[in-house]
Amino acid sequence: MGVEMDYRESADRAGMGRMSAGQLRDTFVIADLFQAGVLRLSYLEIERAVVGGAVPTTTALTLPTHPELASRFFCERREVGVINIGDTGVVTLDGSCFELARHDCLYIGRGVEAVSFESSDPARPARFYFVSYPAHASHPSRRIRREEARVIAAGEACNANRRVIRQAIRPGLVDTCQLVMGFTELELGNVWNTMPPHTHRRRSEIYMYFDASPGRVMHLMGEPSDPRAVFMDEGEAVFSPSWSIHSGVGTANYSFVWSMGGENLEFDDMDVLAVSDLGARA
């Protein structure tokens, strides 16, 4: 199966500051992730992550390896997190089937040789979003149902950022090498995520926005003193360097999948900023 994988290089602080809006999108935004009957892959220079989307219809889609990975199979030296944002589907790992309803998650451990994606009803396909990082050890694959994720209520309506955070792949639930993953749902009438923002130099983060249409999300990134904005559409992902903020505001409420990889798995390992730090002059 010949699946294209595009290669995404990042930018340093100075380089990002010189980018036009179009260059910012071309560098950091991964579009067209969810196309009927197609599996898409993007290799990110940051943390050597791979981001992908699969929308199986009448036939299963198989996760391939790629010359860029120099491996016999995709998970030979990698772990993968999958979240289904569509209708019910099945992920098969070396012959073992895992049904994923909407918002269910699956951790795939290093060493799994065959990974395939199917929709339970081709007329109502699943939409599998996945993120992969290099793995130094093998941990058991595990499905995490939506209701099994750790739930955190955050934000306040008066600040338009009341939201529910669901931590699916995290310490205490799933053993991983460096991957943590989950999703956040903003409540009706709330539009801000992760405000005030933060950075974490020991990890980088990837957001994938969904349930936003027909609205849009303005994603903020870059140095706190010089934030940049890029507009995101339904089903698009954006990755940020570890020194960059990652926050966003929508024209209506929305949801997003977040995933991180790096030196540790600690959610509280972050450098919190104040709103007054944004755009502050030195």
Per-residue pLDDT of the chain (282 residues; tens, 9 = 90+): 457 789 998 888 888 889 999 999 999 999 999 999 999 999 999 899 999 999 999 999 999 998 889 999 999 999 999 999 999 999 999 999 999 999 999 999 999 999 999 999 999 999 999 999 999 999 999 999 999 999 999 999 999 999 999 999 999 999 999 999 999 999 999 999 988 777 777 778 999 999 999 999 999 999 888 899 999 999 999 998 888 989 999 999 999 999 999 876 776 767 777 788 888 755
Cβ-proximal residues to 217 (8 Å cutoff; 6+ apart), any chain: 209, 231, 232, 248, 249, 250, 251, 254, 256
Q: What is the pLDDT of residue 50?
A: 97
Quick check: 42 and 129 in contact, CB under 8 A?
no
What region does 202 belong to: left with phi over 0, alpha with psi -120 to 50, or beta? alpha
Q: What is the pLDDT of residue 267?
A: 67
Q: What is the pLDDT of residue 39?
A: 97
**Domain 5-267 class?**
mainly beta
pTM flag (> 0.75): yes
Backbone phi and psi for residue 276, each to the nearest 5 degrees, phi listed first: -70, -15
- Please state the domain extents for the chain: 5-267
Q: What is the pLDDT of residue 128?
A: 98
Q: What is the pLDDT of residue 264?
A: 66
Backbone phi and psi for residue 21, each to the nearest 5 degrees, phi listed first: -60, -40
Encoded tokens for 6: 């595009």
Encoded tokens for 247: 């926050």
